[in-house]
Copies of this chain bind each other. A is one copy, B any other.
Amino acid sequence: MSMQQQLQEYRTCVEQALEEYVIQSADDRLKEAMRYSLLSPGKRLRGSLCLAACEMAGGTREEALPFAAAIEMIHAYSLIHDDLPAMDNDTLRRGLPTNHVVYGESMAILAGDGLLTEAFRAMSGSGNPNALKALAEVAACSGARGMVGGQAMDTSLEGTAPDKETVLRIHQGKTAALIRASVLSGMICAGADEEQLKKGAEYADHLGIAFQIVDDLLDITGDEAQLGKHAGKDAQEGKLTWVAAVGEKQARIDAGMHTDRAVQALESFGNRAEFLQGLAIYILSRVK
């Protein structure tokens, strides 16, 4: 099976888990708002990484499925809150009106809060013997030390002169942290040891940075149909992007370098790492 077919298979698996996941609430509109963002078309990259990482470490994808679903919930909540008028004030996401445009600002805030909480409920009910350790990793990566911290830096520093170190730290928080959560929680579900987790973390950190640089490059070169959002918005708003910090040419070189290092990090896993290595190369290919 090709890397792309495999990716499609993981994606279908994650989509199905999300479709089947029952959100209970006394408020129907809240449920609807949560499902709207959770089930809107997406690549399900983070969920797929989680399943693939579990298999690489010797587990089955079923073992990691509640974590893959939970991480997609966390991703969905972060997008809802990012798009709010007080944050990025985006009206279009993945080609659809953003949550607050459809449901109003207060319901969008609550839908985000609900998805974040539901993610932890899903993980706590997974039945995996390593659930608590995996959950702790996801919590650490998505909070003030990780994703939320990156968002806060991005917000605090918007409009300031881009400096390479600062942009790197924002990218590590905003993007790489949740990718790290995906890979590590998947591996922990499979019972991976500390040495293996170290390799997984190295892969995830470099993949996360490469992914964000590619995203920054696509923002200046892509069209709206491909992006599913308004193009060129980063530059307009003075966002701290890798391209703004080092220029387009160097950004392409750096994306390649981080991809190489991600691929190398998994060498000791041999054939089992084929999919995750191929995925890193595929992500890079979007801007080659």
Contacts and interface: CB of A to CB of B under 8 A. Distances in A.
A149 interface: yes
A173 interface: yes
A118 B132 contact: no
Nearest to A108: B86
Contacts of A139: 117-118, 120-121, 124
Interface string A5-33: 00000000000000000011111011100
Nearest to A116: B116
Contact of A143 (B104, B105, B121, B143): B121
A87 interface: yes
A136 interface: yes
A143 B104 CA distance: 19
Interface residues of A, number: 51
A contacts with B: majority SS: helix
Nearest to A113: B148
Nearest to A124: B136
Contacts of A24: 144-145
A47 interface: no
A151 B30 CA distance: 10
Interface stretch (A91-99, A152-160, A205-213, A251-259): A152-160
B30 A148 contact: yes
Given A23-B144, A117-B142, A110 B29 contact: no
A30 B156 CA distance: 9
A23 B146 CA distance: 11
Nearest to A24: B145
A118 to B, nearest CB: 5
15 contacts: A30-B156, A31-B144, A81-B109, A84-B86, A85-B86, A86-B105, A87-B106, A110-B148, A110-B155, A112-B113, A114-B144, A114-B149, A117-B148, A118-B144, A124-B132
